[in-house]
Amino acid sequence: MSSVVLTGLGKVYGDGTRAVTDLNLEIRDGEFLVLVGPSGCGKTTALRMIAGLEEVSEGTIEIGDRVVNEVPSRDRDVAMVFQSYALYPHLNVFDNIAFGLSLRKLPKKEIERRVREVAGILELQDHLRRKPRHLSGGQRQRVAMGRAIVREPQAFLMDEPLSNLDAKLRVQMRAQIARIQRDLGVTTVYVTHDQTEAMTLGDRVAVLKRGILQQVGPPQELYDRPVNLFVAGFIGSPGMNVLGATLEVGDDERYRVRFCSQSLDLPDSVLRERPALRRYAGRPVVLGIRPEDMEDAEIVGAEQGATLRSSAELVEAMGSDVLVHFPVDTKPVTTDGVRELVSDGGVVDPGPLGAAGGTVLVGRFSPRTRVFEGQSIEVRVDTARLHFFDPETGSSIW
């Protein structure tokens, strides 16, 4: 086991495409780090450089205590698990798992012992004589995992290993990967575009946009304190609602955030947590509200927070909760600014424009809500949990 340290890592492909820029990351011994970002952000390129499958253009990669830039892939002592399982179709499960060990000419007894142990961990012991074509997708993926585990490498490198599985299996395998990684304690770099996978698996999550690292931290930190609109929009599902607004200060010195006819009073805690917000008094801001920080006012009553009025445009019952879509007026000019900003990268969709030039917000309500489509609603917003961003830069205002 070892740490993996990336310093100033960069990649420019032969055709001039820049895929990764000045990536600095220290993946600690035994840590599970998830690299996440939209398609084309450079995560696979970064992983392939660590694996030694892609040449490094700039910077260094250290695995353990040695710089491996010039070390061939097979000598880096890392094990890759790909999205396509890349199993040998003519070999049975046992031989597929044993393949790397046989190449290394380990004694037969030792190979037998290690394969059986790994098959036990992955619950494949009853399938050892089967060929891959006689296995389900989930079983194939476990064989691919087995092949990585059995080598006892210094690090696992996984590239979207679950994306070929159906939704239910993905959840099962996700839990299994988390358990195995914890049990084995092997340093792991895991690439995905799926924020749920990132949040549930990662000790820390690194968010990439166009080859540039935006933020790295524990999942909860990225959720609670995203550094910019891009991270805010990427982490959380459904994504954070964002809307153009103005920060106002009343004669009573109280701050409120206004969008056209409605406004939300801010509790003191927001200004304590975000002292820089005072500099935006009287100026436009981008307001972020997570769907889960809103609730049907009929259910929560007059607890802490503030109320928005609207009408339910669409109601989606999810079982565990209800997603309610409702329009609010926003200043068109600011909204345009927001649209331009958030469409950069194509991740945050501010929602379709309503008739009044507004934004459609999504609230995640309790299943006890009785809201129906077309109904007037009052929405309770947990104003202590609002997010604010600079409309020019998209950076969080702290």
- The contact set with ligand ATP (CB under 6 A) reads 13, 15, 17, 19, 37, 39-45, 193
Distance between the two ends of the chain, CA-based, in angstroms? Answer: 38
Q: How far is CA 319 from the centre of its chain?
A: 24
| Rounded least distance, CB 39 to ligand ATP, Å | 3
| Rounded least distance, CB 233 to ligand ATP, Å | 16
Are 353 and 361 contacting, i.e. CB atoms less than 8 angstroms apart?
no
| Rounded least distance, CB 36 to ligand ATP, Å | 9
Residue with tokens 């952000």: 41
| Rounded least distance, CB 385 to ligand ATP, Å | 30
| DSSP H or E stretch at residue 192 | strand 187-192
- Cβ proximity to ligand ATP: between 42 and 161 the closer is 42
Residue 164's nearest CA partner among 86, 77, 78, 271 is: 86
Torsion of CA 16, 22, 23, 28, to 10 degrees: 140
| Rounded least distance, CB 18 to ligand ATP, Å | 8
Nearest-angstrom CA–CA distance, 318 and 321:
5
- Cβ proximity to ligand ATP: between 101 and 347 the closer is 347
Residue 165's nearest CA partner among 149, 187, 180, 144 is: 144
- Cβ proximity to ligand ATP: between 15 and 70 the closer is 15
Nearest-angstrom CA–CA distance, 64 and 389:
39
- Cβ proximity to ligand ATP: between 10 and 244 the closer is 10
Q: Is the peptide bond before 238 cis (omega within 30 degrees of 0)?
A: yes
- Cβ proximity to ligand ATP: between 39 and 320 the closer is 39
- Cβ proximity to ligand ATP: between 47 and 377 the closer is 47
| Rounded least distance, CB 290 to ligand ATP, Å | 25
